[in-house]
Structure 1
Amino acid sequence: MKNINISFFLLSFLIFLGSCTETNTVINPGDKPVVEAYLAPNHPVSLKLYSEIPYSDTSEGVSQPIDGVSIKIIGSNGKTFTLSSQGSGLYTSANNELIGPAGTTYSLEFDFKGRKVRATTEIPSKPINFKSDKTEISRTQIDLSNFTPGSGGGIRPGGGFNQENTSVNLTWSNPNNYYHFVAVENVEENRVQIIIPPSGSSFPSFRFFNEPLIGSSNVVRSQSFQFFGKHDIILYRVNGEYAALYQATGTTSQNLSTPPTSIINGLGIFTGINADTVKFVVNKN
């Protein structure tokens, strides 16, 4: 199974908004740890722990990694992971012990500032009948490295952006209405960009993904791919706590609220995930 690797765009959102708690809370702003842990079957345990930036902090605070905490993850199969601090907020289990199969429940426990932080999650089953109607597409490379705005030149070959936008249709079975999301990752060691940007532009991400949904299909457009070569199209099955946290990223400065979390006396995400992968290639015309 594809190595689980989810973009942690949610974390910065959590750290900043996490302290917008009600005024009658007994936990002071900034006193909740922010947890980031995704448990996947047959993968080692890895957890990140950071400090919360209280919303009441008028300075431009920076979240800090939290090291040296004694953390346990206890499985319903009788196996306990004792996590060791690796520095920079990272915690791992000894001897690369692996998470159990789908259906196993895991409980998180550790003490922080005199309170017990707890959370529970279950490893979901693997996605069923994941398929793509295409295994490859072709695109033309566009070179904008010498492009000057307003000059009308510097685009070669292909003459511009009017390339065919092919649909890659993804389907899977979902009789029980689980949450899923699709991620696409370029797996080439030496990545070649489809659109070479003007000098000084930022390098595009080799991974992109959609929002969690309850359904049994999704579409990836050919123009979403940023690189030629081999890709993994990964279908993740996730629990409700991940979907709720993703949806909460729509909170704005005009509508601040406590982000949803299943962690008692803490913030963040402690959740089980599972995945299946299809291989895909973007060829160069």
Structure 2
Amino acid sequence: MRKLSAITILVATIMFAACKKQDSANVTERPVVIAYLTPGQPVGVKVYQQKGLADTATYGAAITGLSLSLSNGSQTVALTESGSGNYVYNNTSFLSSGKTYTLKFNYLNEDVTATTNIPAKATSYTASRTTINMPLTTINGPAATDSIAVTFRWSNPDSLYHVIVFKNDDNSPYNLHPQRNSPVNFTIDAKTADHYDVYYRTFSYLGVYRAILYSVDKAYGDILSSNANTTSQRLANPPGNITNGYGIFAGMQADTIKLTLTQY
């Protein structure tokens, strides 16, 4: 589950920033739920309180002592609390591609529910190259950095939503732009496309990257789109698929290609 960390933090940042301004009396009224369902993995659901805009923490306080259930339509299982606000079901055979899952629990006398479908895993995921030699003119040569470094392609006949998470595996990756505050790891929203062109200027570090292609449900795509199109209305009504709550409950599948970024 470690490879989900980049998008988990991204979605958490979007959702908590989107919660409308509230005073301390009602900041805990509705829970924030974050869960990603992936076939072959245990179920993990995190439940937090909302946090005020002045709070600089990534997450609100964990909500403990809840009774969560998860159903696939024919079987319902109970999640157990493995840590504060962290609810799990460890049977790795419960999640399957193509099935619909519904989460339920009660919080402050309200039924909180969420439903997601686990999409099919993308097939024929390829990269036009797996070794990328970054141009020496990266900093001062816009013509060089405006060209395409690599093209990713995959089969997507049903126009499913996809994101590509780039995660650098080096302990201390070399920064091509030390004068900038560029993140090492980043996420690209490919929407419903079947390919994506990544330009040289997108990369700020050398080293070995994992380009992880996630097939995700529409709710997750809507949250990423909201980050790029924030309005005052969205700040008061953040997107998500949690009834009587906030956050994201999303089915997804992943495939990975390794890239080596060099410069010589």
TM-score, length of structure 1 as denominator length: 0.77
Change (3 A) 1:73 1:136: same
Contact map agreement 1:191 1:227 (CA 8 A) in 2: no
Larger radius of gyration: 1
Unaligned 5+ segments in structure 1 are 22-27, 142-157
Q: Which has the higher helix share?
A: 2
Q: What residue is the counterpart of 1:146 in the other structure?
A: none
Unaligned 5+ segments in structure 2 are none
Contact map agreement 1:230 1:282 (CA 8 A) in 2: yes
* 1:115-141 deviation digits (Å, cap 9, x = unpaired): 111111111100121111111111367
Out of 158, 165, 185, the residue aligned to residue 167 of structure 2 is 185
Q: What residue is the counterpart of 1:43 in the other structure?
A: 41
State the identity as a percent. 29
* 1:176-196 deviation digits (Å, cap 9, x = unpaired): 1111122211122x2321326
Q: What residue is the counterpart of 2:88 in the other structure?
A: 92
Residue type of the partner of 1:230? V
User: Distance in 1 between the 2:138 and 2:234 partners?
Assistant: 45
Change (3 A) 1:228 1:19: closer
Out of 263, 268, 279, the residue aligned to residue 242 of structure 2 is 263
* 1:55-86 deviation digits (Å, cap 9, x = unpaired): xxxx8356322222222222346362413141
Contact map agreement 1:38 1:271 (CA 8 A) in 2: yes
Out of 103, 107, 117, the residue aligned to residue 122 of structure 1 is 117
User: Distance in 1 between the 2:213 and 2:139 partners?
Assistant: 32
Contact map agreement 1:77 1:104 (CA 8 A) in 2: no
Answering whether residue 220 of structure 2 is matched by residue 225 of structure 1, we say no
Change (3 A) 1:16 1:280: closer
Answering whether residue 107 of structure 2 is matched by residue 112 of structure 1, we say yes
Per-residue deviation, 1:108 = 0.6
Equivalences, count: 252
User: Distance in 2 between the 1:162 and 1:34 partners?
Assistant: 44
User: Distance in 2 between the 1:159 and 1:126 partners?
Assistant: 35
TM-score, length of structure 2 as denominator length: 0.82
Q: What residue is the counterpart of 1:34 in the other structure?
A: 32
Answering whether residue 155 of structure 2 is matched by residue 173 of structure 1, we say yes
Contact map agreement 1:130 1:171 (CA 8 A) in 2: yes
Change (3 A) 1:215 1:114: same
* Cα root mean square deviation, aligned: 2.9
Q: What residue is the counterpart of 2:12 in the other structure?
A: 11
Change (3 A) 1:38 1:160: closer
User: Distance in 2 between the 1:52 and 1:211 partners?
Assistant: 26
Q: What residue is the counterpart of 2:70 in the other structure?
A: 73
User: Distance in 2 between the 1:3 and 1:195 partners?
Assistant: 24
Per-residue deviation, 1:16 = 4.4
Contact map agreement 1:251 1:257 (CA 8 A) in 2: no
